[in-house]
Amino acid sequence: MRIIAELPPSTSRRVVVSRAKALSDYVDMVDIPDSPGGRPSAHAIAVAYVVKEIGLTPIAHIRLRDLNELAYRSLLGAARLLGLEYVVPLSGDLPSVGRPVDHLTTEEAVPIAREYGFRVGVLLSMRRNYAERLKIGADFYLVLNLVDPKSLERLAAFDVYPYVLLRTERNAGLVERLKQPAVGLDSLRRYIEALDPYVKAVVISAPGDFEAELSALALLAKR
């Protein structure tokens, strides 16, 4: 099983480089959100390029809620110019500043990204009618709200990468607000072993607690 690490965006190049180098001790691929929580930050495409320079393979998210088709195509053009391979168009949370655009749906955005030669992923929530989501025909699916690993048996024909959220003392409040299943560091290894028969990769995320994410990656590296 491949381990992918989530790398939160930052406007500080020093922070991005430092975190990316720390992650490179354990993984070769990172997942980069775009303005998580609808808060302004450096765009995931810019962060992805910095990460790529360090030698990691980035998956760059692109929020559609803030874009019309011209802006979306311009960002895809920038991503191609910078040599990126993986993008994930998604709606995103409501913006904390400004007004939403909501011009493009994920269904419309995926084939456009394919025109530019990307491997394209989409988010798939196990709480919704994910059968409809699978009809989009993405190259891979980032799975949210997974409660029972065995439910992934129904997705055996697809390339699915479930998020594994870590709950710690530091981020417990944030994880609670996200309302997604999460595991503690003490049960992480067992949970990963339960996922192993069903997936080729997982995304490790510890929102608001990057040090815990590194601890989790170090633990998994000893498997």
Q: Which range marks the domain in which residue 185 is found?
A: 2-221
For range 102-118, the mean pLDDT: 97
* Residue 32 near residue 58, CB atoms below 8 Å: yes
CATH number assigned to the domain comprising residue 50:
3.20.20.220
Write the pLDDT tens digit of every residue in 181-198: 999 999 999 999 999 999
Q: pLDDT digit string (tens) for 59-99?
A: 999 999 999 999 999 999 999 999 999 999 999 999 999 99
Beta strands in 21-137 (DSSP E): 29-32, 57-63, 86-90, 119-125
* Conformational region of residue 217, where left means phi above 0, alpha means psi within -120 to 50, and beta covers everything else: alpha
Q: Give the count of domains, the chain.
A: 1
pTM, full prediction: 0.95
